[in-house]
């Protein structure tokens, strides 16, 4: 019986935490005054990947792309 109560309490806490995370994200957006920008067409470019192949931005047309530039020595 105590296992069932503990399980139900855990599920209740998880459900409550998921809702508060969404609220917190909305608070952060408001705090930082983040405004979504209108989508603009990025310039076409190609880069060399770590394995030496050429990757073009056009290969990812229609999908979200995050370009992360980092430096290694």
In a domain, residue 33? The reply is yes
Strand-pairing partners, residue 47, are 55
- 27 in a structural domain: yes
Q: Which domain holds residue 17?
A: 2-60
Residue 68 lies in a domain: no
In a domain, 19, yes or no: yes
Does residue 72 lie within any of the structural domains? no
Task: Evaluate whether 45 touches 57 at the Cβ level (below 8 Å).
Answer: yes
Strand, helix or coil at 19?
A: helix
Number of domains observed in the structure of the chain? 1
Quick check: pTM over 0.75?
A: no
Task: Tell me whether residue 32 is in a domain.
Answer: yes
pLDDT tens for each residue of 1-54: 788 778 777 766 666 666 566 677 777 767 767 666 777 778 898 989 889 999
């Amino acid at each position: 019986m105590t296992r069932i109560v503990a399980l139900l309490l855990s599920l209740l806490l998880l459900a409550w935490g998921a809702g508060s995370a969404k609220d917190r994200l909305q608070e952060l957006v408001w705090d930082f005054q983040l405004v979504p920008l209108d989508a603009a067409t990025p310039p076409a470019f190609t880069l060399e990947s770590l394995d030496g192949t050429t990757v073009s931005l056009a290969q990812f047309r229609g999908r979200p792309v995050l370009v992360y530039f980092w430096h290694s020595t």
